Amino acid sequence: MARAAVEGLAFPDGKKEYIIDVLDPILEKMVQELLTNLPEEPTSFMIEYLKQKNSTSSGEVKFRSMADTNQALKKELESMRGFVSEVGEMVSARHQTDEKDEESAEDDDDEDEDEMPPPPPPGKMKARASVSAEAYGLWNQKKEFTAPKHPKSEDQTNRLRAILQNSFLFASLDAKDMDTTLLAMKEVQFEAGQKIIQEGDDGEVLFVIEAGAPVCKKLIDGEDKVVKQCGPGDVFGELALLYNCPRAASVEATDASTCWQLDRDTFNSIVKEAATKKTATYVDFLKGVSLFFTLDDYQRSQISDALKQETFEKDAFIVQQGEQGNNFYIVEEGSLVALKSKNGGEKAVVMKYGVGDYFGELALLKDQPRAASVQVTSDTAKLLVLDRRSFKKMLGPLQDLLGKKSSGYA
């Protein structure tokens, strides 16, 4: 782990060997324990781990040797605490498998899938090593970053902004970071039959499709087989950047295609950090939503990845009684009421909603029109939205709990 972080970096005599030969085994075992136990307080867990290791006779000898080698170990300990804390937070916020073909397949053929995937066992957490290697401490200083600039016309900027705002990876960017990302993206053109990325290669860029229909292919039984059809608005090539791994699949243009390319440094410095923070924030928020009490952090992170935030002004109607429903809503901020029309056309309040409440599930569960209208009563309301496809996939195991709420609209 420390070895991956220090390769290629320059250190004073002896420090690089010290990190690799002395610190690396300790860090590796600590992080393995963290990934196995997933403690809520990784810093405290690490301290207790070090105390236990130091309590053994062999541990005493080892730690005395470390003190003799480097009198500043106590200072370095503070750095390790921050490092392991960051790893723990990332792991609890974003557990993801490292199999690209699983992700590719589920986009196309999980329309009818009802079950949320189980948490990956500790032994399959290979992708997290790359996250650990990017943690920053005294021995791996974060470099100052300046994003590249590729000027665009106003029309190009507006088109690209509209695409990115509908993508999970980019939707969490604030206005300043979005502008920086837009300026850093470079337009690239591909002809029919042209290979855009090659399976197994190192990845330095990701692509966002503006026009065209590239296909993802994987080498299966010695033959390149199509595992996913892409289209405008899709992002590909991001896994190699997220997890510092080789390309998991090839992508080939089937027609004249226009894509926007984003480099690794801009992605890691701006987009990845924002997406990770957003997921961690939503995971914590979902812990306070009664519907998700029985889920673990991995399952909550899966749901958070599919959520989109929408803001509404006072008196705005989120849904209208009688219309077809395609979204499920969770109240992040603000207050709302459910209104049901009586025989004379008069609307009566049948339910009130506050932070952590949810609505819109009945139309999706029973495939029927909205049973009531929902209107904003606060100055503004922020809602987390899950579309029909994600709702069925993510919340299938919770349908019994969701069904019990139907009496609330009676």
The pair of structure tokens assigned to 202 is 């190192």
Q: Which position has the token pair 């992080």? A: 31
Binding site annotation covers 361? yes
Q: Which residues contact 149 (CB under 8 A, 6 or more apart)?
A: 183, 184
Distance CA 354, CA 308 (A): 18
- The three-class DSSP label of residue 239 is helix
Q: Facing residues of 99 across strands?
A: none
Helix ranges (DSSP H) in 230-346: 238-243, 264-266, 273-287, 297-306
Torsion of CA 372, 376, 377, 382, to 10 degrees: 130
- Whole-angstrom Cα distance, residue 267 to residue 235? 13
246 phi/psi in degrees, rounded to 5? -65, 165
Radius of gyration of the chain (CA): 25
Establish whether 128 is an annotated binding residue: no
Cα–Cα distance, 244 to 266 (Å, whole number): 14
For residue 263, which phi and psi values (nearest 5 degrees)?
A: -75, 160
Cβ atoms of 49 and 88 closer than 8 Å: no
Phi, psi of 129 (to 5 degrees): -60, -35
Helix, strand or coil for residue 178?
A: helix
CB 211 within 8 A of CB 257: yes
Q: What is the largest CA-CA distance in the chain?
A: 87
Transcribe 44-112 into DSSP letters: HHHHHHHHHHHHSHHHHHHHHHHHHH-TTHHHHHHHHHHHHHHHHHHHHH----S-HHHHHHHHHH-TT
Annotated binding site for 3',5'-cyclic AMP: 238, 247, 361, 370
